[in-house]
Structure 1
């Protein structure tokens, strides 16, 4: 068994403090006058208390045996097995002592003080001898494991012999107590013999510095046992204060020994096992790191990428998502190594890996393939455009130069992309095709990217071109607001206008909002675009107001992305303040689906706008996730019935039922209703009969530029559009 040299002090501070306090208590009692009531009283230690304390000591001694015996390991020092056998003898002899105590029922022969003392001395001698043996025996495992069973047999045989002789041959035992006189000199000598053995055990523990377990604990147990035995040399009455102190110290000593064997037999092996497990896990993690991660960057290597790609590809049959690999290579990396040195090249690789990592989603995996090549796994791709957007984001993210050991270095990448299942259904095929696309990008001039599939390449490039043009359109004032009237069905009067953005491209002409609005939302260009629409609509409404045009309000559409990330409240307040426009003249149209993932911040912002007088309406009502909760929470003013329900209102009974239900609900909640997409007088009349108050659509006017709308509104044929019977 491995032994470590113990350089700790002979007595630890805690050991000295505990022994000092216990010795001080005994010394105070010892120094009291002989006639002091504390020393003469004979009721300090009644029989019931003696029985309780002896039972506790017996249980603890039995636990010492049980733990030491059953936790035995072949590499464990045999001293613990010796301690186990010794404390088994102590438990059994203390049990005989308890049963023989005066006042207890007869234990085969009549109970008496002398009978109890004989078993007591046998237990104390056993305890002292075993502690001495543990202290003097070399700290090594048993030579033969069966030796412990020999010790156990000897222990049980010795205890049995002692019990037999004391019960059936009592004349062999000298007098230890005389009634009326107290302890005999022999009894006191025997107690001092026990003290002497314990003192020898303490010296043995102090001299032996190699300790496989708690030497301080054993020293403390021996010291407390010596104090206990000193008490038993001084008592004159089985129930006096010395008996109480002696038994209390005895129980405490047993508890300390129990702690020693518990720590050495259970706690220390458990801690060692935990440490070994932790060390093994660290080793496994190190092996995993070496096997699956790149040493230079700490990024996954190709082996881990292949594993993750295979797992991602296994889900393709269960959902409609695609899996993409982007293969990239630094353009002219050899020149960096040759001109600045390999240390700068390594720094560039690390910094590039860190910068690329910051551009990815949490679900993506960035891998360093080899040298200056990196691969990105996108496991859940909705469409090829999102792959192209990431490629563009990477290229844009490299415009800022890298600082390499004091040198500013600008680099570029060539990227290739392959998308499963179209470009391959296994990792190796995707890697090969993505690398092929990357080399195509290098041939096309570098600092660009290509799809492996040419058709997909054209589609992605077209979408990216659209986004680039849209960015320029916002900056170069190619956008224009058109306005569509909203009328009151009962009177035919104008109730408001809706602002709708149009894009007049210098080459392609008028581009439909159905084409560029989804792209703007996907790229978040909808935020600056929406802010521009809001400012222009408020400016136009203020202009009409100054010209005396009675316009009740102008409605502006707000996207879900503006709600969540566009600082809507600040934008609205700024637009109103810049044009001194009353808040009541502005209406914000919020789609029903955009409120599904509403946050408390969004709701609070809308509530504050509502409190200022801004009107709120729910656009495309009936097509999202309808909930009465947000209608009540936001206190909206209007529901806008989606045109998909309005278009066939007179022909489709289901649509009629849906519109009727929406109108009735709005009336119940005190909200106005407006229907969009009204294209015939029959539909307008049907809406009026169902109780819908307002409408907009081609029946009244198409979306028009501001000047054309102004001309139309100056001579608005209100009576012509009334549905209350006053039509022309």
Structure 2
């Protein structure tokens, strides 16, 4: 796990100013103490030598500095440091002018004063002090040269040596303290800089690196793609963007848990990175999606071959704990600059190619082409029209009667969503439902179908058709929603329809994805009394054991086996086998696509329960369906009266 960025590195102007004041105060206190100790020693020396006048002057300065020291303690830093520097300057000027002039040992005090002023005082004061000292030295030289005033030139003695050493000691201690402070400051700055760099590296990890796999992420992929393309513009090379999606990863996550799923993704990431090596770079986009950038290939066939080898590698089983896990992968490819010159467009086109690979049956590789791009643009345009149609309530439910073929009676209907486009005419559900599923509109669309069909079925009951049920096709995406079963029950309660009159149709492919949410929704609906049926049975993955375990109410035989049932021996054998199995499992059979009397007669002889198709009626609008069932009821009344 990546650590959080250290919040102490945040730059705060107020903190910087406080630090500067604290530093000045600390250094000023140290200088005050050194100065007062030095003055005290100088007073002792002068008293010992009998220089009571000078001792008195030094004592006065000591008292003034003591007052300034207490001002400093009260945080009056500017006032205190100004008093300190001016006192030292005035005292040094007095002593230099009275005694030895520019040859006097007190001249050593001026460098010390300048050091103090540089560290503690403002720029103006430092500049003023420096100019004053320069002018003072020239003035003293002038009056001595012109004999206007002559300084006393004493010979070297022990007293002058002591004063010089005392001044040197003060300079040494002051500069030592200042140097130590600077060293500490530099050390602190180095530490803070290292901490800042560390935090910067952590931030870069968060920005550029996937936390789970350690691979670079989408942000870094964009940067590297741009670099590859820029290089390609100079030397004529191309960049391939491979969008990889693991086909069956969701079932691993749902059945074995996220911990196993995460370990699996980490191992998959290592496999991809290990294979790509020096050919390109690998990134994780999120979930079970990875990205590969290749910039070392001769032609598109090289990219396809590399993708095929990658697919074969990912198909190999991985052992995690006691499980041997394997998935297939689908890969969509876009080439820059052939298909796109920027990252977003290349990724979009690779995603389109990936979608095409999924449509072809998964575990496929698809290279984007002009036809796919045109189709994608048409899909996008159609999707926008679908959004508008949903918003304008332009979609409508049609109903195809469901017949009990043993009793020759209507027992309900299947609700089928229809879209009549204003310009393009009828749009097949096989076209717009996948778009709705991919775009996230399916939940809204599915809720509309559920609510409308339940409301209409409740209306049939009010009209006296109390045994009619309604069948509704449900998208797998709806079943994966954790609260789907609750939504269904809320609608049933709202329109006061008993659960037994609602039949939800799911495809066989849903049974492959045995997620927790799916299983929980199915179990909850079954407990409530809602019926489940398997749509298009025999068209895909037929797991009879799972169907039995789910206690499915009915299976609908795909129209592919029904339409030529009276002519095809193979279809007849398949339908007969399905019928026998269903009867043994006590599951009802529904035949779709019945269009002739001969097919109906065959189904009746096979003891099929229900059927629907053009032989009775196509899917029709709700008002037409109501008129149809009313007419049938009237026919039955007339027939009964004639008997």
- TM-score normalized with structure 2 length: 0.46
More helix by share: 2
